Structure 1
C-alpha cells in the first residue's frame, strides 16, 4: 500500500491551486460581463434582495464572500478570491479522493484533471452562482463519505453545511434513507449481507427533511426583503412566474430545447450537453449494478438528481450539472478496472468462512484457508507461503492472478501441519488493477478497491 507523504500532498495542493487559477481565467473569459451579474446575485442575498425569493436561503457562499470582502477593496474582488479558493479546495479534495481510493498518485491526479475538465465543459453564460462552487465541494465530500463507509453522523454533519448552500442537500437525506433499505433488500435477495436496516441512519435522514424544510422557509421569511430579479429585464417577472405555473416547471421546455439542438446542430456544440446527461445517467446505473452493496443507493439518488435537473432547471444553463462531477470522479476510480461485479455469496448457508460479507471492515473477512505441511498451493496462480513447513507462522504472502490482487496472510492455525485439518487465515488485501479469477471471487465474494489513508 503506497504511503501518502507530505510531498505528494504538497504536489496535489500546488496543482489544485494552479488549475483553479487557470479555471478562474476561463470563467472570466466565458462569462464576460455576466460574471458581474453573478456577483450581484450573491451580494443581493446578503442584503435581502436576491434575484428571486427562492434563493434567499442560499446564504453560505454569499456570506463567505462577504467575510472575504473585509480583506479586499470590495465585494467583487472578494468574489474572485472566493472563486479561486473554492476551486482550489475542490481540486485538492478531488486529488485526495483519487489518492485515497485509487491507491496512488496517478488516480489522484486523474481525479483532479477530471474535475477541472468537467467544470470547464459545463461553463456557459450568463450565470455561475457562488453556491455552485460550494456545491461541488459538498458533493465531493458526500462521495468520499460513501466510498469510505462513514457512519451516519458524518452525513448529518455534512447536511446542514450543504443545506445552507443549496436545497440539493436533501439528496443527502434521501441517500441516508435509501442506503439502509437497499442493503437490507440485497440481503433478502442473497446479494448482500443479511443485516437489519440501519434504523439510526434512516431516522436521521427522515428527521433531516422536515428540519431542513423548516430552516429553508425560516431563512426566506427572516432575510427576504424584495426580489431584484424583475429589474433584470422587462419580462423577467413574467418568465419567472410562467416557469412555476406547472408542477413539471421546465420539463417540456427543456425537451423542446434539446430537440431543437439535435435537429439544428451549431458550432456552439450544445448537442454535447444531452450526451453528457445520457452519460451520467448510464454511469449511475452501471455503478449501481457493478457495486450494489456500496453504491446502489448512491446511483439511485443520482438518477433522481437527473430527473430533478430536467424538471426544475433550465437545461442549457449547464451549471445545474456541476453537482454531478463527483459522480464522474467515482466512475473514473471504479469502472476502468476489469473487476468482477461486487456481489457477495448468494448462498445463505455455505462452507465455513463463506458467510456473507458487508464490506472491507467486516470481521468475517477472517476467511477459511487451508493449513498443512509445507508451502500451500492455492488455485492455478498459486499462493506462495514461507512457513518452511511449520504451518504456524504468519506473514505469508499470497499472490492471486499474477499480481491482480495482493493479500498478506497474518496467521495460520497452530495445529494445521501434519493432520491436514483446515486452519484460518486472516486475509487483508489491496486488489490492484488486473484480471480477476474465479478463485478470488470465490474467496472474497466481491472486489474491494485499494484504499490509502
Structure 2
C-alpha cells in the first residue's frame, strides 16, 4: 500500500503539471454537481464522487483540498487493488505487471483540460468488475457493485449489460436454461438504472451552467450528443499530423481494447465473450457519444487491459494456486475479497 501511495503522489504531480490551472475547473465541475449546477445536465446523476468529496471537506475545511485528497486516495486505492486482485488471479509477477501497466496507461491518458472526480472512481469500480468476472462471482456481487457504480456514472450500465449477456451466452452454448438469478438481476439493474439516472437529473438539477459558460447554447438540456463524425475527424487528424505529443497512441489504445476483446473470446468464448462484448460496447459508445480528444474517457478501460492481458499467459495462470498459498498481500483478505485456493484454481483454470 505504501508503494501505491507513493505512485499516487507521483501521478498527482503529473496531473498538476499536465492540467495546470485547468485542474481548478475539474474541482468546480464536482462542486457544481453538489450544488445542482453542473456544467451539463448529464453530469447531475454522477453524484457519488462529488458527494464523497463534500463529506471529506468537513475534515479538510474546504472543497478544493478535499478534492485533492480524494484524487490521491482514489489513485492509491486503484493501484493497490490492481496489485492485490491481479495477484490473486495470476500471481505476483503478473500483479506487478498490472500495477505498472495501470500507472503507465493512466499517465498516457492524462490530457487537458478535464479530469473529473468520477473518472478516478470508475477505475476502482471497473477493477472490481473485471476481478469479479475473472473469478466467477455470483450475481449478488455484481448487483451490489452496480448499485454503487450507477451513482458514479452511467457507465455502470455496462455491468448490468454483462449480467444480462453472460447467462444468455452460456445458456446458448450449453443448450440449457440460463442462470435466471443473474439474468433477472441484470434486467432489473439495467431498467432501474435508466430510471434512476433520469430521476436524479430531473430532481437534483437546479441550473445547467455549461451552455452559457462555454458559449454552447445548442447543447442545453441534452443528455447525449452524437460526436461520431467529430471523433472520426480527430482520429484521422491524429495520424495525418504526427507530432511529439503522439496523439495517435489514443486510437491505437482503442484498437488494443478491441484486439484483446477478440483474443479473449477466441481463447475461451464461453467465459470471456460477455466481457469482450461490454468492452466493445464501451468503445463504440465513446466513438459515438464521447469526445476522443478528452482522453480521460478511456480511463475505465484500464483495468480490462491491465488485468485481462494476463489471461494470455498460461504461466501466469499456472501460478495461481501457489500465489493463494503465499498471499503476499494479506490486506485483500481483510477487505472481504476472499476465495479458497481450490475455488480460485477452478475459476482460473
Question: Is the pair's TM-score, using the shorter chain for normalization, greater than 0.5?
Answer: yes
How far apart are 1:336 and its partner, in Å? 2.8
- TM-score of the aligned structures, taking structure 1 as reference length: 0.69
How far apart are 1:22 and its partner, in Å? 0.7
* Cα distance in 1, alignment partners of residues 6 and 304 from structure 2: 23
* Cα distance in 2, alignment partners of residues 266 and 172 from structure 1: 37
How far apart are 1:264 and its partner, in Å? 1.5
Q: Deviations over 1:8-29 (max 9, x none)?
A: xxxxx11111111111110111
Q: Do residues 228 (structure 1) and 209 (structure 2) align?
A: yes
Counterpart residue number, 1:302: 279
Counterpart residue number, 1:386: none
Q: Do residues 85 (structure 1) and 73 (structure 2) align?
A: yes
- TM-score of the aligned structures, taking structure 2 as reference length: 0.88
Higher relative contact order, structure no. (Cα contacts within 8 Å, ≥ 6 residues apart): 2
Q: Do residues 173 (structure 1) and 153 (structure 2) align?
A: no
8 A contact 1:162–1:169 mirrored in 2:
yes
* Cα distance in 2, alignment partners of residues 88 and 161 from structure 1: 19
* Cα distance in 2, alignment partners of residues 281 and 135 from structure 1: 20
Structure 1 residues 203-352: aligned runs within 5 Å = 203-233=184-214, 235-238=215-218, 240=219, 249-337=226-314
* Cα distance in 2, alignment partners of residues 52 and 107 from structure 1: 40
* Cα distance in 2, alignment partners of residues 136 and 294 from structure 1: 22
- Alignment gaps of 5+ in structure 2: 323-341
How far apart are 1:429 and its partner, in Å? 10
Q: Do residues 75 (structure 1) and 63 (structure 2) align?
A: yes
How far apart are 1:230 and its partner, in Å? 2.8
Counterpart residue number, 2:112: 125
Q: Do residues 34 (structure 1) and 34 (structure 2) align?
A: no
* Cα distance in 1, alignment partners of residues 120 and 17 from structure 2: 17
Question: Radius of gyration: which is bigger?
Answer: 1
* Cα distance in 1, alignment partners of residues 116 and 189 from structure 2: 25
How far apart are 1:329 and its partner, in Å? 2.1
Counterpart residue number, 1:140: 127
How far apart are 1:296 and its partner, in Å? 1.1
Q: Do residues 45 (structure 1) and 33 (structure 2) align?
A: yes
* Cα distance in 2, alignment partners of residues 267 and 339 from structure 1: 35
How many residues of Structure 1 are paired with residues of Structure 2 in the alignment?
A: 330
Which has more strand, going by share of residues? 1
Q: Aligned-pair RMSD on alpha carbons? A: 2.5
SS of corresponding position for 1:71: helix
Q: Deviations over 1:313-361 (max 9, x none)?
A: 0011110001101111233321133799xxxxxxxxxxxxxxxxxxxxx
Higher mean alpha-carbon deviation, 145-154 vs 106-115, is at 106-115
How far apart are 1:196 and its partner, in Å? 2.3
Change beyond 3 A, Cα 1:242–1:260: farther
8 A contact 2:134–2:347 mirrored in 1:
no
* Cα distance in 2, alignment partners of residues 183 and 74 from structure 1: 50
